[in-house]
Amino acid sequence: MLLIWNRPGFTEGLPEKDRNALFGEVDAIMKELTESGELVDGQALADPSQTQTVRLAGGHPEIVDGPFMESKEQFAGYLTVDCDSPQRAAEIAARWPDVRFGGAMEVRPVMEQAGTEM
């Protein structure tokens, strides 16, 4: 799984030409992954203002608005890919345009139901 991390609102701060180019790159990568059969799933996530987080507080689960952790990045979306190797997944992540704008792509294997990867 490729986890997309970026700065909140960074695309809104880009000139329209750059924003369109970035989205065009994403579209091209998604098309390539679809055609190669490597794309399993992928979604962007809603704005963090629509998020709720559950944490233990005073021994009981507490629901609070937002992720509001001490972080300059937000979890913005994900891609699930079926690749021949972890290196191929990292190659795809390295091409993701958000990385050039200060974001990050976390590459993490998805556990099988048996959980033997742990």
Sign of the CA dihedral 27, 34, 5, 48?
positive
Among the residue ranges 38-47, 66-75, 84-93, 96-105, the one predicted with the least confidence is 66-75
Cβ-based neighbours of 100, under 8 Å, separated by 6 or more: none
Domain assignment present for 72: yes
How does pLDDT run across 15-34, given as a tens digit for each residue? 999 999 999 999 999 999 99
Which CATH number do you get for residue 82? Answer: 3.30.70.1060
Domain assignment present for 54: no
> What confidence score (pLDDT) does residue 90 get?
96
Is the pTM here over 0.85, yes or no?
A: no
Looking at the DSSP bridge assignments, the partners of residue 55 are 62
Q: How many domains does one find in the chain?
A: 1
How does pLDDT run across 81-118, given as a tens digit for each residue? 999 999 999 999 999 999 988 889 999 999 877 656 55
